[in-house]
Amino acid sequence: MASLKYDQPSRTGIIQFMDRDEERRTFRLSNVSKTTADRYFVHIAHLNEARRTNSTVRGETVEFLNALGKRDYKRLAKLGLVEPREPDEKEKQPTTLGAWLDEFERMKSPDWKPASKVVFGHTRRNLLDCFSAETLLADVTVLDAENFERHLKTEELARATMAKRCSIARTVFEAARKHRLIGANPFKDADIKVVTKGNKKRQVMIGREDTQRVINVCPDAEWRLLVGLARYGGLRVPSEALSLRWEHINWERGELFVPSPKTEHHEGHESRLVPLFAELRPLLQEAFEQAEPGAVWVINRHRSKFKEGVPDWQGVNLRTQFQRIIRRSGVKPWPRLWVNLRSSRDTELADQFPSHVVNSWLGHTERVANEHYRQTTQEHFERAIKGDGGALLVALHCGASPDITEQESPKSRLSKRSENAEKPKKEAVSQRTAKPPRWTIQDSNL
């Protein structure tokens, strides 16, 4: 009723049998030893015989089935030799998009910051708007993933925002693949942008003159300090500015201890030390003098009231009021209001101090600084055209100390060249007529 054909070189086995409907069935084994093939053959032959005669399966075969992997057991069930197993809890994972998004959030949200929950909420809404909660995960294709990016474009989102949401969507489907709910991640092979890059078109250098005009029309000392902390301290607003306490300021040593909620999950980046810059000190002193006795927070007025355990800077809307202040000053509002103040300070400091020092003060890496903060300004072009610093660099390279206060004209350079051309002739004549030098004793070899 059953037979086994085993091929030693390829380590493959083919078990064939006639089922109770007199149809030939085949069970293939690959990369197995002869002993394993024989064991499979004995149990499969017994299972087939039990099916044909409606007899009880013996204990050894029951133990074999209990130890059998899911893949081989399903193959035996497909051949009609055993009844399908009841799905276990792991196999009852959600398969629709809506159910999986709920499950994904339940698994991951304990490690998320409040802002991360907000960003995921936006991505979740976009996914459900583009597809539907009842859409099966396995039905989402690469083309659907590319259509998701097109759907985001209809909301007129910034390029970085779209890339971030596509990246989160890819992470969601990758988790589904790892849980074996889908065979492949459609967002992985899709032609979509998932890397957040800096948008140079939205970078603006906020000069000191414009900054001072804005500070002059701020309604109170705390608003003046907020602008100063971003523009001259390079702090992130609102997270770092509103996390600052008066105890974090060391007036004598000129140091500012800055907690960094954004990077605290990276080891060693929970906080940083920032110099108490000269431009920042008077703004801090003014706010300190006006603070109420016993005040803890440097910025105390512009705080939101949240439930316990949630940072009270989360959800603070400083942008709308800041736009009004900027318009009142007569300065045209710039994009990314707070980020460009920090970017301007980064660019400014990078011209004065080594790059690794600036990165340490502002709390980011060199790659992030170049991608998102450092700017090429008009002042850089003007200095290059005027030659400021160029002659000094050449002189230092050659070991000289030139006077770079005066610039030579093309005419003077031509006259010097003609004079230098005549020098070799005069020097050759003088060397033939000159008397040999007289050296004092011990001068020649010492």
pLDDT-derived band at 322 (thresholds 50, 70, 90) equals very high
Establish if 406 belongs to a structural domain: no
- In whole angstroms, give the CA distance from residue 370 to residue 368: 6
Q: Is the pLDDT of residue 208 over 90?
A: yes
Task: Check residue 291 and report its DSSP letter.
Answer: S
- In whole angstroms, give the CA distance from residue 168 to residue 170: 5
Q: What is the pLDDT of residue 368?
A: 84
Establish if 395 belongs to a structural domain: no
Residues 209, 285, single domain; the answer is: yes
* Amino acid letter, residue 318: L
Q: What is the pLDDT of residue 369?
A: 84
Contact yes or no for 377/205 (Cβ under 8 A): yes
Q: Is the pLDDT of residue 421 over 70?
A: no
Establish if 378 belongs to a structural domain: no
Q: What is the mean pLDDT of residues 29-44?
A: 92
Q: Is the pLDDT of residue 163 over 80?
A: yes
167-171, 206-210, 272-276, 391-395: the lowest-pLDDT one: 391-395
Residues 175, 235, single domain; the answer is: no
Q: What is the pLDDT of residue 197?
A: 66
Establish if 101 belongs to a structural domain: yes
Place of tokens 């105890």: 247
- In whole angstroms, give the CA distance from residue 446 to residue 426: 31
Q: What is the pLDDT of residue 304?
A: 62
Establish if 361 belongs to a structural domain: no
Residue where one domain finishes, among candidates 85, 110, 134: 85
Establish if 402 belongs to a structural domain: no
Cα four-point dihedral sign 311, 317, 321, 326: positive
pLDDT-derived band at 417 (thresholds 50, 70, 90) equals low
Residues 210, 321, single domain; the answer is: yes
Residues 245, 300, single domain; the answer is: yes
Angle between helices 159-178 and 97-108 (to 10 degrees): 90
Residues 134, 240, single domain; the answer is: no
Residues 237, 323, single domain; the answer is: yes
Q: Is 384 or 423 the better-scoring residue by pLDDT? A: 384
Establish if 231 belongs to a structural domain: yes
Range of the domain at 173: 97-197
Contact yes or no for 276/256 (Cβ under 8 A): yes
Residues 257, 175, single domain; the answer is: no
SS3 287: helix
Residues 48, 125, single domain; the answer is: no
pLDDT-derived band at 428 (thresholds 50, 70, 90) equals very low
Residues 79, 182, single domain; the answer is: no
CB-count exposure of residue 359 (10 Å: 0-12, 13-18, 19+): buried
Which CATH number covers residue 219? 1.10.443.10
Residues 210, 317, single domain; the answer is: yes
* Measured CA distances, 252 to 229, 248, 268, 272, 275 (Å): 19, 12, 25, 18, 12
Rg value, the chain, Cα: 38
What mean pLDDT value characterizes the chain?
A: 83
Collect all residues with Cβ–Cβ distance below 8 Å to 369 and sequence separation of at least 6.
346, 350, 355, 358, 359, 362
pLDDT digits (tens, 9 = 90+) for 250-277: 999 999 999 998 888 778 888 999 999 9
pLDDT digits (tens, 9 = 90+) for 403-412: 434 444 444 5
Highest mean pLDDT of the ranges 43-47, 381-385, 389-393, 418-422: 43-47
Q: What is the mean pLDDT of residues 152-173?
A: 91
Q: How many domains does the chain have?
A: 3
Residue where one domain finishes, among candidates 167, 197, 227: 197
pLDDT digits (tens, 9 = 90+) for 224-243: 999 999 999 999 999 899 99
pLDDT-derived band at 393 (thresholds 50, 70, 90) equals very low
pLDDT digits (tens, 9 = 90+) for 103-150: 999 999 888 877 788 899 999 999 999 999 999 999 999 999 999 999
Q: What is the pLDDT of residue 190?
A: 87
113-117, 140-144, 199-203, 302-306: the lowest-pLDDT one: 302-306
Residues 53, 101, single domain; the answer is: no
Residues 326, 249, single domain; the answer is: yes
Collect all residues with Cβ–Cβ distance below 8 Å to 85 and sequence separation of at least 6.
70, 73, 77
Q: Is the pLDDT of residue 5 over 50?
A: yes
pLDDT-derived band at 445 (thresholds 50, 70, 90) equals very low
pLDDT digits (tens, 9 = 90+) for 345-363: 999 999 999 999 999 999 9
Strand-strand pairing, 255-259 and 249-250:
antiparallel
Which of 138, 192, 132 has the alpha carbon at shortest distance from 166?
192
Q: Is 345 or 390 the better-scoring residue by pLDDT? A: 345
Residue where one domain finishes, among candidates 46, 63, 85: 85
Which CATH number covers residue 175? 1.10.150.130
Place of tokens 């000269």: 278
pLDDT-derived band at 306 (thresholds 50, 70, 90) equals very low
Query: How does 405-430 read in b/e, with b if 16+ C-beta sit within 10 Å?
Result: eeeeeeeeeeeeeeeeeeeeeeeeee
Q: Is 244 left (phi over 0), alpha (psi -120 to 50) or beta?
A: beta
* Measured CA distances, 103 to 109, 110, 128 (Å): 10, 12, 15
Which of 228, 233, 226 has the alpha carbon at shortest distance from 211?
228
Q: What is the pLDDT of residue 246?
A: 95
* Measured CA distances, 411 to 386, 408, 415 (Å): 18, 8, 6
Q: What is the mean pLDDT of residues 146-168?
A: 91
Q: Is the pLDDT of residue 309 over 90?
A: no
Establish if 352 belongs to a structural domain: no
pLDDT digits (tens, 9 = 90+) for 374-384: 888 888 888 88
